[in-house]
């Protein structure tokens, strides 16, 4: 079983059967997630976004290191005088954890769609997520 299939099985459980095929090669990739073409059981062509395997654990570990180092930088390097390293780490931690939450991403997508459509920007094409297939990761 490929890594993508394992992630889908772990995240979707019984709902995994709703996805009948997945291209294991991503069509787009970034530091946190990657996007794959897939086909649903109803025949719809879709794209799926999955987190890179193990990324959540790596982020949490990195945040722990950053939180440990940040207070030690206060008063030690010139740039620390311009910023509060512990506060910057806290803000970064909040932001990166939001990036890891795909349910929040879908909520933001619906809000963008609502705003664009309420401003008569209907020429925009906004994806329609399959809500029953959206997980946090």
SS3 content of the chain, % helix, strand, coil (to 5): 55, 15, 30
- Structure confidence by residue, pLDDT tens digits, 38-69: 999 999 999 999 998 889 999 999 999 999 99
Would you give the distance in Å from CA 25 to the centre of its chain?
Answer: 18
- Structure confidence by residue, pLDDT tens digits, 78-128: 776 778 899 999 999 999 999 999 999 999 999 988 888 887 766 777 888
Q: How far apart are CA 47 and CA 52, in angstroms?
A: 15
The pTM for the full model equals 0.79
Domain ranges of the chain: 1-53, 54-126
Contact 51, 36 (CB under 8 A): no
């Amino acid at each position: 079983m490929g890594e993508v299939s394992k992630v889908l099985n772990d995240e979707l459980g019984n709902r995994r059967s709703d996805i009948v095929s997945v291209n294991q090669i991503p069509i787009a990739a970034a530091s946190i997630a990657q996007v794959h073409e897939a086909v649903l059981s109803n025949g719809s062509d879709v794209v799926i976004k999955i987190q890179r395997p193990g990324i959540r654990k790596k982020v949490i570990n990195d945040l722990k290191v950053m939180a440990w180092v940040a207070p030690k930088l206060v008063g030690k390097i010139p740039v620390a005088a311009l910023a509060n390293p512990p506060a910057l780490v806290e803000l970064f931690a909040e932001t990166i954890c939001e990036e890891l939450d795909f349910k929040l991403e879908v909520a933001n997508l619906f809000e963008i769609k609502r705003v664009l459509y309420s401003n008569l920007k209907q020429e925009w094409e906004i994806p329609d997520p399959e809500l029953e297939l959206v997980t946090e990761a």
